[in-house]
Amino acid sequence: MASDPIQALLGSFREEIGRGVSTRGEFERLKGRFLGREKGLVPELFARLKTLPPGERGAFGARANAAKTEIEEAVRRLGAELERREAASRDRAAAVDVTLPGRRPRRGGLHPITVVRRRIEDIFLRMGYSIADGPELENDFHNFEALNFPPEHPARDAQDTLLVDRPAASPLLLRTHTSPVQIREMRKHGAPLRLIVPGRVYRKDEVDATHSPVFHQVEGLVVDHGISMADLKGTIAAFLEALFGKGTKTRFIPTFFPFVEPGVDVSMTCIFCRGDGCPKCKGSGWIEIMGAGMVHPRVLQGVAIDPEEYTGFAFGLGIDRVALLKYGFPDLRLLFEGDERFLAQFAGEA
């Protein structure tokens, strides 16, 4: 099942391992993220046990234990391998002329977009969501049609969407949002479903302080029996508090997106003035942070999920925008220029 938290955790762990762990810092971060006593994802999994009905605890506990063993075993192997490499490099170091002046090794660090993306992923993994991925090169069906965009919708225009030249009848395009992955996941797994989709998206935009033709989104989708607007509100409130700190309030304002009904713009307490009113929030005390809504019945029908039986909510926000807000820098371009003096400030973040 797509929303199985144990599978989600193992998937995320295997992906991290697959990316390679070559330094002590990377190793410690990995270990802390999964096994850390305070905030590790594995202890968190066991904390969920208590919230399950007694009949489900046995099976869940057994599978959680197997996952824990796999992760501990892999971490132990990685640690041993790292120690062997460190010892080897100490031996090499002993053979060199120690009177030569030292060269300070250049340290890499995580890009702020990666830091924010992982933070968001962790919050939703703890809430039992899985992480889904999909192609960046899409067709009109997944990017627009299945999401209830009418044929004449302006977003479909080549003015806004980057089309990829292809002589055939259905041109490919660079996805304009991560929502096509929702369609792919619902077609593949049906309902119930609980997932987030982080990824790169593309729009035909000129580069300036707040626009870029490439940016990052994270999108969420929950489909199940009896999902209501109250579930959406509770989820968003918990998420924004976890991301921006206790006391962050949320406000929904009705709006229109083709794939939800009703749709809402979500605002949160201005992080600069904590709601008192300042130039950044134009004195209102609120800033817009994301879009959301109840999945349109037509979208569910289109992927063969019965809207009489299931309902769902979806939400989406810009990772780059969160990074801008969280770190308080003024210009989106800083994220894409690769200036080491800028990026070095985030080297210590995990």
Question: Which residues are near Zn ion by CB under 5 A?
Answer: 270, 272-273, 278, 280-281
Render the burial of 206-224: b for 16+ CB within 10 Å, e for the rest: eeeeeebeebbbbbbbbbe
Q: Distance between CA atoms of 207 and 209, rounded to whole angstroms?
A: 7
142 or 321, CB closer to Zn ion? 321
Q: How far is the CB of 240 from Zn ion (least distance, A)?
A: 15
In DSSP terms, which residues pair with 124 in a beta bridge? Answer: none
Q: How far is the CB of 268 from Zn ion (least distance, A)?
A: 11
Q: How far is the CB of 335 from Zn ion (least distance, A)?
A: 22
Q: Do residues 136 and 200 lie in contact, with contact meaning Cβ atoms separated by under 8 Å?
A: yes
Q: Distance between CA atoms of 219 and 318, rounded to whole angstroms?
A: 9
Q: How far is the CB of 280 from Zn ion (least distance, A)?
A: 5
Q: Which residue is nearest to Zn ion (CB)?
A: 270
Q: How far is the CB of 286 from Zn ion (least distance, A)?
A: 8
Q: How far is the CB of 274 from Zn ion (least distance, A)?
A: 8
44 or 265, CB closer to Zn ion? 265
9 or 281, CB closer to Zn ion? 281
119 or 280, CB closer to Zn ion? 280
Measured CA to CA in angstroms, residue 218 lies from 59, 93, 241, 310 at distances of 32, 45, 17, 23
Q: How far is the CB of 289 from Zn ion (least distance, A)?
A: 13
Q: How far is the CB of 146 from Zn ion (least distance, A)?
A: 38
How many CA atoms does the CB half-sphere of 89 hold within 13 Å? 6
End-to-end CA distance of the chain: 30
280 or 333, CB closer to Zn ion? 280
82 or 273, CB closer to Zn ion? 273
210 or 228, CB closer to Zn ion? 210
82 or 278, CB closer to Zn ion? 278
